Amino acid sequence: MITVMGAGAFGTALAVSLSRNGPVRLWAHDARHVEAMQRTGQNERRLPGVPLPTNITFCAGLETFSSEDTVLLAVPMQRLRGVLEGHRGVLSQARLVACCKGMELSTGKGPVQIVQEICHAATPAILTGPSFAADIAKGLPTALTLACADVRAGEALQQALTTPNLRIYRTSDTIGAELGGALKNVMAIGAGVVMGAALGDSARAALMTRGFAEMTRMAVALGAEPETLAGLSGFGDLVLTCTSEQSRNYRFGLSLGRNEAFDPSVTVEGAATARAVHEKAQALGLEMPITTAITGLISGELQVDQAMDMLLSRPLKEE
């Protein structure tokens, strides 16, 4: 049995896609949300207009959970620790697949690291790559990376999570996969700023390219394989989120570039991640000027013209 914890747009879309393979359980922390989905056959709160197949069951508790279940953790990155701690007893030995992207602000840790810290006996993995909830829910095709250090468990998860519209590639490099998903959110904010400030497509392409260099620099410094960053979890997701308004991080950047208010109810994982990445880069002595500029824009310490001047006036060097 596959359980998806998190009835946001992405968790719901994953449940819809996975239900094509068999029964799926969709967990939401709010019992009223569960009742509404049961009554309407839709997740009107988070993914309106998408019918939920009848072989998806809904729950606000895990009373019927088995330790043999595969659990997809589709909760916001900054809430992952609390969800795991609140359900540590039933999740302690499960196969736990993180589906959130980012870096915990308070610790600088990624989702796999947090799973390992809280659920010691669990098998941790991460599912990441270019994927918008609306596309997945419609059955549109994409390819994702499944990273699991346990090769046999990774092979089993690859089989279980592949669906007619989701092609899953496998790696054992969990560090690279989780950092690719986290760092691209920061760069997506920067790309949105560029376009919101009408700096042009050429500037966006330059930011994406140099941003990818920063992503790879930090990931390799933390033990990742550079090939992982060049794959779906890094470069693939970077391209998607830097070029589409379906990305909340990109839309947030657009609002910064236009000097407009942004809906505070919308989760923007890259905002907290930018601060965490900036702090980690400083601790490691890594030069990450784009991340520094984006962090300054988010905090309000920099204006767009100041950030642009800061980046363009850096010393010239070889690529």
Which residues belong to the active site? 184
Report in angstroms the alpha-carbon separations of 197 from 30, 78, 305, 315.
39, 29, 9, 24
Phi and psi at residue 145, in whole multiples of 5°?
A: -105, 130
DSSP run (H or E) holding 290: helix 289-299
Q: CA–CA separation, 6 vs 128, rounded Å?
A: 16
Coil/strand/helix, residue 302: coil
Rg (CA), the chain: 19
Tokens of 276: 């965490």
Angle subtended by helix axes 269-284 and 248-258, to nearest 10:
80
Q: Specify binding-site residues for NAD(+).
A: 6-11, 133, 248
Going by C-alpha positions, the residue among 27, 29, 30, 35 that lies closest to residue 56 is 27
Q: Specify binding-site residues.
A: 6-11, 29, 101, 129, 131, 133, 184, 237, 247-249, 266, 269
Going by C-alpha positions, the residue among 44, 43, 35 that lies closest to residue 14 is 43
Which residue do the tokens 């824009």 mark? 297
Q: CA–CA separation, 281 vs 186, rounded Å?
A: 13
Phi and psi at residue 223, in whole multiples of 5°?
A: 105, 10
